[in-house]
Amino acid sequence: MICFPNAKINLGLNIVEKRSDGFHNIETVFYPINWCDVLEVIENKAFQKGNEKINLSLSGIVVEGNTQDNLISKTYKLVNAVHNLPPVKAHLHKVIPMGAGLGGGSSDAAFFIKLLNDKFSLNLSITEQMNFAKQLGSDCAFFIENKPVYASGKGDVFSEVEIDLNQYCIVVVYPAVHSNTALAYKGVVPAKPQKNIQSIITDEIKNWKEDLVNDFEKTIFLQHPELQNIKNTFYSVDALYASMSGSGSAVYGIFKNDVDIKEFNFSNNYLIWKSK
**Can you tell me the mean pLDDT for 74-81?**
97
30-62 pLDDT, tens per residue? 999 999 999 999 998 876 666 789 999 999 999
Q: Using CB atoms within 10 A of its CB, is residue 166 exposed (0-12), middle (13-18) or buried (19+)?
A: exposed
**Cα 58 from Cα 153, distance rounded (Å):** 33
| CATH architecture, range 2-160 | 2-Layer Sandwich (3.30)
Residue 262's region, left for phi above 0, alpha for psi from -120 to 50, else beta, is alpha
Name residues whose C-beta falls within 8 Å of residue 101's C-beta, 6 or more positions apart in sequence. 10, 179, 244, 245, 246, 247, 248, 249, 250
CATH for the stretch 169-274: 3.30.70.890
Of 3-12, 103-112, 157-166, 173-182, which gets the smallest average pLDDT?
173-182
**Can you tell me the mean pLDDT for 194-211?**
93
Query: Is residue 234 pLDDT above 80, yes or no?
Result: yes
- Percent of the residues in the chain that have a pLDDT greater than 70, as a whole number: 99
Alpha-carbon Rg for the chain in angstroms: 19
| Residue 185 pLDDT class (50, 70, 90 cuts) | confident
3-state secondary structure at position 214: strand
139 is a catalytic site residue: yes
Per-residue model confidence (pLDDT) at position 275: 96
Per-residue model confidence (pLDDT) at position 176: 85
90-129 pLDDT, tens per residue? 999 999 999 899 999 999 999 999 999 999 999 999 999 9
Please report, for the chain, the start and end positions of each structural domain, with discontinuous segments joined by +: 2-160, 169-274
Per-residue model confidence (pLDDT) at position 49: 66
User: Omega before 249 cis (within 30°)?
Assistant: yes
Active-site residue, from 8, 53, 94, 114:
8
Best CA proximity match to 217, nearest among 254, 181, 244, 251: 244
Active-site residue, from 53, 94, 108, 139:
139
Q: Is the pTM of this model over 0.85?
A: yes
